Structure 1
């Protein structure tokens, strides 16, 4: 498997122990990405006794494989939010994500964050119409966007929509900084600690080594809800996989870009230890549905060469992103019947700002503080119609893949989540499940959930 640019250029690692004893805490957090770390930081600052558990190493999952854009401009989103949630809902989504950007800017050093304009651009009449629709939403909400023709990219474009003074970060270095601040505030972090069982009623969880953590409240930040939550949220999330390539460049872009029409591309540069890199991403598809993903990397490498004339030290990696039926992430109490269990997931491709925003929402709930965004992000909000449509969509896919997989891929190992046949992914050297997005390393160990048990190879 390829290692992302961010993981290759991280700060020297802080060593966090694995859990080797039974512990008690106010709040236990499962998942050591930016979402879990931010929750640990905010809650520790509130005086809570916090334990964070990561089954592998912190920041090596979704955070370490992101594009590193910390921005409230989430592609074409606000026009859709206005339609779904009205002015108050759309404005609130913008405000909490803008607050997340400001928080990042307040704690990051120059090695971790750089201010940059976020820019959407169109390449067709349809795309320009979409930009104008989004700009109209900006004006109604009060977002200070600028519609025009402002682009440094060497591509043909028709129009741009700019949101100034957003941020791009080195997500791993930024996460490492926040993890250290969480520890300084009193949080206890454990790596290589795999949670295999949860007892919600008696409020404890068990690790693979047999140790237990008793908690008053539990926060699940595992990107996709883990096996213990099957039947609660598993049918409410679609999972998408996208690809990123990078190469050394001679000049940094002042902005960060994303196209609103085809071909879908996201572009930014990064300056790391004196070197400049360009990042190009796109080519997404439902997780686990492609056997040979190398073609997606090749397409992006070709675009890098044709558009930016770069052919040096190319590096590629991929990311996996869950999405809720109505765009807004889930952050809060998972069910009224389990008021001490919280979940944070469904960020789409905007996990950096959303993870910080969701962490603030959850930590405020646990600390007993009023947060105006709690109802908007509540996991219980999803209406029956949206739930049924998404469930039918996913169930249809699962049923088809379950059947076809067992007929056509009889030699492939069976996913330990719900029994679908996996696919071997040549480019990533992983076993990918097309049903719910679980991924396994070459040796069968779990790379991404919801599966928690290794493949039987």
Structure 2
């Protein structure tokens, strides 16, 4: 039953062959998700010779396991951004993500994209207070919104905050479409192309096959940067996991919903080939900290039946995403010492708009085009105080998991990234590392990084 609705209903899959010989390119992109594919399209369109490497198959990672919401309403975020960065930066964040929606609308075909409103809703007095503070931030920033109670759900809601003219994606079909656009512009997309080593000083990398790729610019769109130690990004990113279910339902919701109270719930209707599917998501937790993830799926399934009066879910899937300390993703050079190595990460579960935005930001930086979001999304923007607090928090957690894992999970395989003991994820049947979010399939092969080498299941 653990299968993504998006991956099961994708277009017929194209096959993108790995490189057959040593190759030189202007820009090498590692990661075949929505961000990497969009960057490949935009950079190739600008005239760059682009090579994209995906270790498995494109769109089968985070992009194929998302909620598919394409919106500027990223939970309760604008009040915090306004307080931390000021009004001008908060406006840049909103406009950058709004432009990502308009970009997607301009190229999507068929039912890859559907218009929708986005609604934050509160069920408690605490939630209402938080929602009103967010509405005040919208007003300060000039973001058009509607405070009238708007809820189609069969639950009691005290207050809502609505943004109109948002959208929903079928992320895999949309990503497949962008992949074709990238190829039409001359980009070379390569699947089954596992990067095993890098020599960033010499601007080269080697694949598991032995093929050597030489580049002028390198773009890491690997969700969690595999070169995370450089620039201390390993100390800045916190990885969380969440779960989703879908079931056929005659419930054509006109809006997509997110609760501001705990437990968090994401709710929307998905239309695929004219058929509606109800999608329910939530049950967030730090990646790798729990093994019995069946409990997370079961809680959602029980709610699906008791609250929404639907049957057993047909599809169940999960995904994880890193967050930066200050809510804004990273898109740009990984460090001042290596301005030709770029990262796109930290989308905080809002990767549909932010992945498109990050791809545009990095493209503009590489091609020398002005973009007001370059400074805001810069990976080196994080101040020392914020970095130190996050480093202490993350390092403390990592040390606890590293030590505790080796004492209590002595039979669990050791993560090949930094040596932490993994934990068996019963629901997804994967080995998950609680230290930095690496995940491995049942056979030990890498599902997602920062690890790049498979587990040794014989040790």
Superposed displacement of residue 251, structure 1 = 2.6
Q: Which residue of 2 aligns with 1:339?
A: 339
Q: How does 1:160-171 map to 2 (within 5 A)?
A: 160-171=160-171
Query: Which residue number corresponds to residue 285 of structure 2?
Result: 285
Report what 1:83 is aligned to.
83
CA contact (8 A) 1:44 1:182 kept: yes
Q: Per the alignment, in what secondary structure is the counterpart of residue 181 of structure 2?
A: helix
Question: Which residue of 2 is the match for residue 93 of structure 1?
Answer: 93
Local SS of the residue matching 1:20 = coil
Alpha-carbon deviation of 1:230?
5.3
Within 5 Å, give how 1:293-372 maps onto structure 2. 293-372=293-372
Q: CA RMSD in A?
A: 1.0
Aligned residue for 2:271, secondary structure, equals: strand
The within-5 A match list for 1:49-448 is 49-227=49-227, 229=229, 232-448=232-448
Deviations 1:403-443 (A, max 9, x none): 11111111111111111111111111011111111110000
**Contact 2:330 2:343 (8 Å CA) reproduced:** yes
Distance 1:235 1:381, change over 3 A: same
| TM-score normalised over the length of structure 2 | 0.98
Residue in structure 1 matched with residue 6 of structure 2 by the alignment = 6
- What's the offset of the Cα at 1:313? 4.5
User: 1:248, 1:312 within 8 Å by CA — same for their partners in 2?
Assistant: no
Q: Secondary structure at the match of 1:42?
A: helix
Give 1:160 shift: 0.4
- Give the Cα–Cα distance (whole angstroms) in 1 for the partners of residues 365 and 177 of structure 2: 24
Gaps (5+ residues) in structure 1?
none
What residue number does 2:25 align with?
25
Q: 1:312 & 1:418 partners in 2: Cα distance? A: 40
Deviation at 1:109, TM superposition (A): 1.5
8 Å contact from structure 1 (residues 431, 440) kept in 2: yes
Mapped to 2, the partners of 1:149 and 1:256 lie a distance apart of 14
1:315 to partner: Cα distance: 1.6
* Partner residue, 2:42: 42
CA offset digits 1:367-393 (Å, max 9, x no partner): 111111111000000000111111111
Write the distance in 2 (CA, Å) between the matches of 1:397 and 1:281: 26
4+ long deviations beyond 4 Å: 227-231
Give the Å deviation of 1:263: 2.1
State whether residues 198 and 228 of structure 1, in contact with CA within 8 Å, keep that contact through their aligned partners in structure 2: no
Distance in 2 between residues matched to 1:231 and 1:411, nearest whole Å: 33
8 Å CA contact 1:301, 1:314 repeated in 2: no
Count of aligned pairs between the two proteins = 457
1:331-358 Cα deviation digits (max 9, x unpaired):
0011110011111000001001000001
Task: State the Cα distance separating 1:228 from its structure 2 match.
Answer: 6.8
Aligned equivalents of 1:313, 1:292: Cα separation in 2: 19
Tell me if the contact between 1:241 and 1:318 (Cα under 8 Å) persists in the aligned partners.
Answer: yes
Per the normalisation by structure 1, the TM-score is 0.99
Shift of 1:19: 1.9
Q: Deviations over 1:62-117 (max 9, x none)?
A: 00000000110101000000000000011100000000001011111232000000
Unpaired runs of 5+ residues, structure 2, are: none
Task: Give the deviation of 1:274 after TM superposition.
Answer: 2.4
Q: Secondary structure at the match of 2:405?
A: helix
CA distance in 1, matches of 2:167, 2:301: 25
Instruction: Determine helix, strand or coil for the equivalent of 1:251.
Output: coil
Q: Is the 8 A contact 2:42 2:360 kept in 1?
A: yes
8 Å contact from structure 2 (residues 69, 168) kept in 1: yes
Q: Partner of 1:145: helix, strand, or coil?
A: coil
> SS where residue 137 of structure 1 aligns?
helix
Contact 1:245–1:280 (CA under 8 A) maintained in structure 2: yes
